[in-house]
Amino acid sequence: MANAGVIAVQDLFARFAQRQLAGPLLILAILAMMVLPLPPFALDLFFTFNIAISVIVMLVAMSVMKPLDFSVFPTVLLVTTLLRLSLNVASTRVVLLEGHTGPGAAGQVIEAFGHFLVGGNYAVGLVVFTILVIINFVVITKGAGRVAEVAARFTLDAMPGKQMAIDADLNAGLIGEDEARKRRATIAEEADFFGSMDGASKFVRGDAVAGILIMLINVVGGLFVGVLQHDMDIAAAAKTYTLLTIGDGLVAQIPALIISIAAGMVVTRVGDGQDVSQQFIAQLFTNPRLIFLTAGIIGLLGLIPGMPNFVFLLLAVILAAIGWRLERGERAVAPLPVAAAPLPAREAQEASWADVTALDILGLEVGYRLIPLVDKSQDGELLRRIRGIRKKFAQEVGFLVSPVHIRDNLELKPNAYKILLKGVEIGAGEAFPGNLLAINPGRVAGQVPGTATKDPAYGLPAVWIEPALREQAQAYGYTVVDASTVTATHLNQLILSHAAELLGRQETQALLDHLAKEMPKLVEDVVPKLLTIGVFQKVLRNLLEEGVSLRDMRTIIETLAEVAPRSQDAEVLTAQVRIALGRSIAQELFPGGAEMQVMSLDPQLERILLQAVAGGGDGASIEPGLADTLLREAVAAAQRQEEVGLPTVLLVPGNLRTLLSRFLRRSIPQLKVLAHGEVPENRIIRVTSIIGGRV
C-alpha cells in the first residue's frame, strides 16, 4: 500500500510538473533574472535559450495552416518580450559591474556578438545595431501591427455576415446544431485572436524602443563607471563598454527580429489549406513560362559588358533548369486522350408503353461542369446537401417531399443548372465549382474583385471570387458560400415556396398512413368517415400556401374531427384549423412573449371590405379603384415594417382574412395576414401602421 501511494504521488507530481509547472517556472526565471545577479555561464545559457525559442516560434508560425492553429501566439509574444528584457537587465548588471575586466566579462555569447560579428569595431557595431533596430521597428513591427489592427477591425465587422451564413446553412438543413455551434465558436476565437494580436504587436514595438534606450543607457553608464570608479581613460572605457553593450544589444535584437518576422507571418496568412512554405512554392513556381522568361532576362543582363557575367549566366541556367523541370512535370501529369470505343449497332425498336415515363415531381438539371457535384462515385457534395434539405424540410414542414431527380443536360451552359417542378422550370442559376460566391447582405466595407452576379435564391448582389479572397471578403462583411451551397440554398428556397404544390394525393396518403400508426382511430374517424382525402389535402394545401407548418398534425386532425360534421367546405375548415394553430402561428412570427407589432385596416376601409364580402359571397371581389389604393398603401406599410426590422403582419377580422391574403400575396409575398381569432388571448397587440388612414 505504501509503495502504491508513493508511486501514485510520484506519477501525479510528474504529470503536474510536465504540464502545469512550465509556465510558472518560466515566469519565476524571468523575475529572478531581473532581481538576482547571474554568472556569465548562466547568461550564456539563457541567451542561447532565447535564440532557440525565437527560432522555434518562427518555424511554428511558418508551419501552421491557419492563424488559429497558433492561438497562443499573443501570449508567446508577451513571454518572449519579457524574457529578452529580463536578460537585458541581467546583462546590464554584469556589464557595469565586471566590464572593466575585459570583453569576456558578460559571457562568451555577448563577447562573440560584440567582437567576432562586428570585428571588434564598436563603430561598425553601432551601425549594425542601428540597422537591425530600423528593420525591426520601422519595417516589420510597424507593418505587422498595422495588419493586425486592420484584421481585427475587419474580423469584427465580418462577424454578422458569418453568423448569417451559419444560420442560413442551419435553416437549410446543410449542417446540424453541433456543427453550427462549432463554427460560431471558431468565429468568436478568430475575433479574440486578432484582437489579442492587435494588442500584442505593441509588445514587439515597445521592445524595439526599449532596446535603443537600454543601449544608450549602458554606453553612458559604462563611461561613468569605467572612468569614475575604475580609473580608466575615456577611450578605453568607451571601447570596452561600447563593445559589451553592442554585443548585449545584438544578442537580444536578433531574436526580437525573428519573433517580429514570425508575428508578420501569422497575421499576413491568407488561406488555410497549406503552410507558408507550401504556398510559397505552389504559387511562385507554378508557371514554367514565367520562369523561362525570367531566365532570359537574367541571361541578357549577364551578356552586358562590365556586369558579373558568370553570376548572371549561372543564375539564368539554374532558372531555365527549374522551368524545364516544371514543364516536364506538367506533361507527365496531363491525362492522355482515350479513344472512345465504337458503339455496337442497335436495331430499331418499336414504340411501347415503356417509352411513356412518369413526370418527375422535383427535378434538377445541371451542366457538364456541375456533374462532379452530383456524382455518386465522387461522393458529390450537392447530393449530401440535398439529402439534408429533404430531412430538414420533413422536420420543419411536416411531410416528406418527393425525391429530387438529378440528370445532366448538355443543352445548358457548362456551369448552369435548372430546377423543375412537374417538368416546368421554376428556377435557374449558375454555379462555378472551385470558386466562391460572396453575397452582399446590404452593408459591406469594400469591394472584392470577381465576376458580379446576383444570389439566385434571394436576388441579393453578389460576386464570384477566387478561394484565396475568402478571408478578405468575409472581413469586408460578405457572406461567402461555395458552389454546392449556392445551388442547395436555391433549391431549398424553391421547395419551401412551392410546398403546397409538392403535397399531392400520394404524399397526403403517405402522411395519413404514417399518422395512422400513432393514432389510428382518430385518423380513421376523420378520413374517410367525415372527409374525403381530397378535402383533407385541400385544407393542408391552404395551410402550406401561407407558410403554416403541418408538424402539429394532432391539433389539425382533432379540429377537423370537430368541425367536419358541420361543414365540408375546405375554406371554413382551414379557418378553424388556423384558429386552433393560432398559438404556434403567432410564436413563429413573434418568438417568445414578444409584443405583436402588427398593421391594421382603417375602420372605414374595414367596413367597406366587410360589405363587399357579405354581398359577394364566395366570389367576393374588391372594386378596382379601392383595390389599387389598398394595394399601394399595403406595400408602403410593409416597407415601413421591414425598415424597422419588424415582421410584415396584417391583423384583420376573420371574414376578411382569406380575401386579403389571396389579394395581397402576389404583390407582397412576405406579408402574413392574421385573423383576430388566431391571436392568443395572452399576447399583447400593438398597431404600428394603419392601412387606409394615417399612421
Q: What pLDDT is recorded for position 5?
A: 45
User: At residue 198, does pLDDT exceed 60?
Assistant: yes
pTM for this model (two decimals): 0.55
Percent of the chain with pLDDT over 90: 18
Q: What pLDDT is recorded for position 1?
A: 44
Q: How far is it, in rounded angstroms, from Cα 127 to Cα 485?
A: 58
Where residue 466 falls among pLDDT bands split at 50, 70, 90? very high
Where residue 270 falls among pLDDT bands split at 50, 70, 90? low
Distances (CA, A) of 636 to 239, 627, 642: 85, 14, 10
Q: Which residue has the higher pLDDT, 474 or 188?
A: 474
Query: How many helices and strands (H and E) does the chain possess?
Result: 25, 12
Name the strand (E) or helix (H) holding 331. helix 309-333
Chain mean pLDDT for the chain: 80
Mean pLDDT, rounded, for 192-218: 75
Q: Which tens digits make up the pLDDT trace of 558-586?
A: 999 999 999 889 999 999 999 999 999 99
User: At residue 428, does pLDDT exceed 90?
Assistant: yes
Mean pLDDT, rounded, for 295-312: 81
User: At residue 271, does pLDDT exceed 60?
Assistant: no
431 Ramachandran zone, left/alpha/beta (phi>0; psi -120 to 50)? beta
Mean pLDDT, rounded, for 84-106: 71
DSSP assignment, residue 324? H
Q: What pLDDT is recorded for position 12?
A: 44
Q: What pLDDT is recorded for position 562?
A: 92
> Grid coordinates in use for 434?
472551385
Sign of the Cα torsion 135, 138, 142, 143 reads negative
Q: Which residue has the higher pLDDT, 208 or 634?
A: 634
User: Using an 8 Å Cβ cutoff, are 164 and 480 in contact?
Assistant: no
Q: What pLDDT is recorded for position 53?
A: 85
Q: Which tens digits make up the pLDDT trace of 113-133?
A: 666 656 666 677 677 777 777
DSSP assignment, residue 592? T
3-state helix, strand, coil in the chain (%, to 5): 65, 10, 25
Q: What pLDDT is recorded for position 9?
A: 44
User: Using an 8 Å Cβ cutoff, are 72 and 79 in contact?
Assistant: no
User: At residue 262, does pLDDT exceed 90?
Assistant: no
User: Using an 8 Å Cβ cutoff, are 479 and 457 in contact?
Assistant: no
Please choose, from the candidates 512, 492, 497, 312, the residue with its C-alpha nearest in 3D space to the C-alpha of residue 399.
512
Percent of the chain with pLDDT over 70: 84
Q: Of the segments 201-205, 327-331, 496-500, which one has the largest average pLDDT value? A: 496-500
> Grid coordinates in use for 544?
402550406
Q: Which tens digits make up the pLDDT trace of 591-624?
A: 877 789 999 998 888 888 888 777 665 456 778 8
Q: What pLDDT is recorded for position 13?
A: 45
> Grid coordinates in use for 24?
510558472
Q: Which residue has the higher pLDDT, 199 or 76?
A: 76
Q: What pLDDT is recorded for position 694?
A: 46
Q: Of the segments 147-161, 188-202, 371-385, 633-647, which one has the largest average pLDDT value? A: 633-647
- Treating both helix axes as pointing N-terminal to C-terminal, what angle do 177-224 and 234-267 enclose, rounded to 10 degrees? 170
User: At residue 695, does pLDDT exceed 50?
Assistant: no
Q: Which tens digits make up the pLDDT trace of 670-681?
A: 899 999 999 988
Partners of 420 in the β-ladder: 363, 425
Of 127-141, 491-505, 627-641, the poorest mean pLDDT is in 127-141
Q: What pLDDT is recorded for position 108?
A: 67
Mean pLDDT, rounded, for 464-489: 90
Other CB atoms within a 10 A radius of the CB of residue 644 amount to: 8
